């Protein structure tokens, strides 16, 4: 009985190549490796590797009848999840978008494609979109869901704002909330029919703009002006020549910080009321606590007894303890806000630099203060 022949070197190389090819992950795919066709069985004219959520878009623009034939492909986070793609005809981002959403779970495990009008984060209306849609269908291949459709676009328009998203689950035919990680928040862009693309939206959507305003107001108030006012009160009054200038600088910083902080707090409460189902409880509760403590601190200005009053020490303890509490809670909440908003790293780095600068100034003045205090004590001791 003869033994089977040993594999040759070319056969071994071919086997290794096939194994490497089969082990390739979906993230290594590009839209050019996908051969998707429209309802007329024609290859799409353009394709795009979308920058986030490992998703792809194929499209053909027909200027003659002002239509856009699209195929969107993405993998949901979980096997029972959903994917979506849509156009925002009036703005940038999710709010106001007209969306096609697909998930597996129809008859015999077929992919269902629905239409959604995203009036707000809390008001998602299933039904007819603001523009015509036809030839809708979906399919699932190897855990990847594809949406095929034709949509009507305005005449003589060269681009549209589009959005895409993936979600983890579907309950009773309704999609559940998606994650709010940076990739999910940045899944928007401008789709140019000519093929020259801008994956990042050219404008900031209204909700993101409000979040940015909220973050800047609170960082300036609780994170900069309030600590600066504390530093002025603690160290400048040590110098006799700075009296009473230090007091007016201190009051000016704290009142300005309170006014700006209340505006930021109000913006945050408004954002929370408009984002039903999207809550950051710790950040919200810290913000409410900050507002309450800061309001008590402002009342201290009107309840301030004279220095010789017998209860002045009680006012001092109340004023100092609440002031330091506001500073600590403010800084903590600002960093929680950075974690939620995910701004460019330069913003967080800049704020950390400001805190370090304030800390260095406070440390320097602390040393100077103790030198002055000890010198005064030594002069009085003889």
Numbered residues of the known binding site for heme b: 214, 250, 283, 319
Beta bridge partners of 68: 61, 151
The C-alpha atoms of residue 53 and residue 51 are separated, in whole angstroms, by 7
The C-alpha atoms of residue 91 and residue 85 are separated, in whole angstroms, by 15
The C-alpha atoms of residue 260 and residue 255 are separated, in whole angstroms, by 9
Helix (H) or strand (E) holding 377: helix 345-380
Residues whose CB is less than 8 angstroms from the CB of residue 260 and which lie 6 or more positions away in sequence, other chains included: 217, 220, 221, 225
Burial class (CB in 10 A: 0-12, 13-18, 19+), 113: buried
The C-alpha atoms of residue 315 and residue 304 are separated, in whole angstroms, by 7
SS3 at position 165: strand
SS3 at position 87: strand
Q: What angle do CA 349, 355, 359 make, to 5 degrees?
A: 140
Are 237 and 316 a contacting pair, CB within 8 Å? no
User: Binding site residues, as ranges?
Assistant: 214, 250, 283, 319
Residue whose C-alpha is closest to residue 144's, from 60, 69, 53: 53
């Amino acid at each position: 009985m003869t033994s089977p022949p040993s594999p040759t070197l070319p056969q071994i190389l071919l086997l290794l190549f096939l194994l490497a090819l089969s082990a390739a992950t979906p993230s290594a795919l590009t839209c050019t490796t996908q051969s998707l066709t429209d309802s007329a069985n024609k290859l799409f004219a353009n394709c795009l590797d979308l920058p986030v959520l490992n998703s792809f878009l194929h499209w053909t623009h027909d200027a003659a009848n002002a239509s856009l034939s699209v195929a969107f492909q993405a993998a949901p986070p979980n096997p029972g999840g959903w994917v979506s793609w849509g156009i925002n005809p009036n703005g940038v981002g999710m709010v106001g978008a007209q969306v096609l959403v697909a998930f597996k779970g129809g008859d015999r495990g077929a992919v269902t494609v629905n239409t959604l009008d995203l009036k707000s984060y809390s008001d998602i209306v299933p039904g007819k979109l603001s523009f015509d849609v036809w030839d809708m269908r979906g399919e699932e291949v190897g855990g990847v869901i594809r949406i095929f459709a034709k949509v009507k676009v305005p005449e003589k328009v060269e681009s549209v704002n589009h959005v895409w998203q993936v979600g983890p689950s579907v309950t009773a035919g309704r999609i559940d909330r998606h994650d709010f990680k940076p990739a999910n928040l940045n899944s928007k862009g401008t789709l140019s029919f000519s093929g020259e693309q801008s994956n990042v939206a050219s404008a900031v959507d209204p909700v993101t703009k409000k979040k940015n305003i909220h973050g800047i107001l609170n960082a300036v108030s609780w994170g900069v002006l309030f600590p600066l006012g504390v530093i002025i009160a603690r160290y400048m009054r040590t110098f006799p020549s700075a009296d009473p200038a230090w007091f007016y600088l201190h009051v000016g910083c704290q009142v300005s910080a309170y006014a700006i902080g209340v505006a930021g707090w109000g913006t945050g409460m408004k954002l929370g009321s408009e984002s039903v189902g999207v809550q950051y409880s710790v950040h919200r509760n810290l913000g409410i606590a900050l507002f309450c403590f800061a309001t008590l601190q402002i009342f201290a200005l009107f309840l301030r007894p004279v220095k010789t009053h017998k209860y002045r020490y009680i006012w001092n303890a109340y004023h100092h303890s609440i002031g330091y509490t506001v500073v600590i809670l403010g800084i903590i909440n600002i960093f929680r806000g950075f974690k939620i908003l995910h701004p460019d790293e330069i913003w967080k780095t800049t704020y950390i630099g400001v805190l370090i600068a304030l800390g260095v100034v406070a440390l320097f003045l602390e040393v100077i203060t103790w030198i002055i205090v000890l010198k005064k004590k030594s002069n009085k001791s003889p």
